[in-house]
Structure 1
Amino acid sequence: MAQQSPAVLNHIAVYVSDLSKSTAFYGSVFNLKEIPEPFKDGKHTWFSLGNAGALHLIQGAKNDQIFDKNGHLCFSVASIDIFIKTLSAKNIPFEDWPGKAGAVTVRVDGVKQVYFKDPDGHWLETNDAK
């Protein structure tokens, strides 16, 4: 029997309550490029994540959910300090892993990371991993 190649990530779907608000948030905070989506039903936004695949925002969530920080999406940036300036300019509060407001976690390997929430409360991590 032939061995199958390893699977690759195609996309990540995030269920959101306000598609236009979430589209603006993800597009502006992470500078993501919107890509064509096939449904054209007003309930989806797709963003390119480069070689990692795509991010699909899907309208319809109830915004009364509470999410655990352990279940998060992570994006890497060239400079965490520059990224923090973006968060501050947009009045988006961030914290370190233990939850200290405005703080940065430095992992044992030297990678800096911050955590914050999207408009629906989904946890997001941004780090400067190379």
Structure 2
Amino acid sequence: MKKLFILFLILTGSNLMAQEIPATLGFASLNHLALQVKDIPASVDFYKNTIGLTPVEVPDSLKAIRGWFSTGNGQMIHLLAGRTTPIVNDKNGSHFAIFVNSIAGAEKFLTARKIVFHKQVRFDGAVQIYFADPDGYLIEMNEKRSDLRLHHYYGCMRMAVKKYLHISKTPIIKDGIFFQLFRNCIKKQFFIRILHTQNRYRYI
């Protein structure tokens, strides 16, 4: 009887443990991005005065080998001293991306500071800028927009007005040409987004 009771406890415990195993890891959010750097003071200055991040207090015992910055929402960038190998990043390879309030303003800022950058127009018309930090880690910049769909809508509206005025030679919109131009643009933007999700936009 005692052996049966022990066996029952073992089987019951095994079933309970199996039931408690979660289906996924349970990811909640990103905590921090850690970058190993060669020169802590230089990198701290860059992320504070060029990127514009807010420094987070580092314990006195770590100040010589660490630099912490808040990126908002409880997330951070950690700088770690000790890099000895070269960093080779590429816009089509390893990099991380940030939002800026104005991509035009950011471009002027980089130009004024004589920071080398690469500027390109994405498939959907958005302007992107890539530049490197002192160690060579590549940073992508995008302009933050409250609603990208609204951006496409107004972009198509401007395009349709421009083409209509060129075709009709009159500022009075009185036929279906304008609306056809507008609809075609919206459809094109829709299919571009579909192709992008399928990783086929490079063929456009």
TM bucket (normalised to shorter chain) is 0.7 to 0.9
Alignment of 1:55-70 (within 5 A): 55-62=77-84, 64-69=86-91, 70=93
Which stretches of structure 1, 4 residues or more, deviate above 6 A after TM superposition?
Answer: none
SS at match of 1:49: strand
Q: Which amino acid aligns with 1:110?
A: G
Aligned length: 122
- The alignment's C-alpha RMSD in Å is 2.0
CA contact (8 A) 2:130 2:141 kept: yes
Report percent identity of matched pairs.
Answer: 36
The partner residue of 1:43 within 34, 53, 65 is 65
Residue equivalent to 1:116? 131
SS at match of 1:27: helix
The partner residue of 1:27 within 48, 52, 58 is 48
Of stretches 72-81 and 110-119 in structure 1, the one that deviates more from structure 2 is 110-119
Q: Cα gap change, 1:8/1:39 in structure 2, threshold over 3 Å: closer, same or farther?
A: farther
Of stretches 1-10 and 57-66 in structure 1, the one that deviates more from structure 2 is 1-10
CA contact (8 A) 2:133 2:139 kept: yes
SS at match of 1:68: coil
Instruction: Point out the structure with the larger helix share.
Output: 2
SS at match of 1:92: coil
Q: For the pair shown, which has the larger CA radius of gyration, 1 or 2?
A: 2
Residue-by-residue CA offset, 1:1-49 (whole Å, 9 max, x unaligned):
4666432100000110001111111111211100123473210010000
Q: Cα gap change, 1:40/1:85 in structure 2, threshold over 3 Å: closer, same or farther?
A: farther
TM-score under structure 2 length normalisation: 0.54
CA contact (8 A) 1:63 1:120 kept: no
Q: Which has the higher contact order (CA 8 A, sep 6+)?
A: 1
Please report how far the alpha carbon of residue 94 of structure 1 lies from its aligned counterpart in structure 2 after TM superposition: 0.3
Cα distance in 2 for partners of 1:29, 1:110 equals 26
